């Protein structure tokens, strides 16, 4: 099972975290390529990070808000399969 089978964006974004309203524009501008490295400097609820992973990219997720990091670790990271987990560093 992959990320598409386990979680969906609406479930992730139903939290108190920022909804990535520019998701399609950002991912288009990034021109995400498999195994290319990206930095999500506002990890929040993980919306951008998850989309980058779904498209095959690798992500370093950082955030000044410790609660955002804990939210991602406790609510999102565990739902990723082993291959997807290898593509993200928090």
pLDDT at residue 86 greater than cutoff 60: yes
Question: What was the pLDDT predicted at 15?
Answer: 43
Say what the pTM is.
0.78
Span 50-79, average pLDDT: 93
Segment 2-53, tens digit of pLDDT: 544 444 444 443 345 567 889 999 999 999 999 999 999 999 889 999 999 9
Q: Which of these, 28, 27, 9, lies nearest to 17 by C-alpha position? A: 9
The label of the residue with tokens 């406790």 reads 74
8 Å CB contact between 56 and 28? no
Question: What was the pLDDT predicted at 18?
Answer: 63
Question: What was the pLDDT predicted at 8?
Answer: 44
Question: What was the pLDDT predicted at 19?
Answer: 74
For residue 74, the SS3 value is helix
């Amino acid at each position: 099972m992959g990320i598409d089978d386990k979680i969906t964006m609406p479930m992730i974004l139903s939290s108190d975290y920022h909804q990535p309203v520019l998701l399609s524009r950002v991912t288009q501008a990034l021109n995400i390529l498999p195994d290319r490295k990206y930095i999500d400097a506002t990890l929040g609820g993980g919306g951008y990070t998850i989309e980058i992973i779904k498209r095959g990219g690798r992500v370093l997720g950082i955030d000044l808000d410790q609660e955002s990091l804990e939210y991602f670790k406790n609510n999102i990271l565990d739902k990723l399969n082993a291959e997807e987990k290898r593509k993200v560093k928090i």
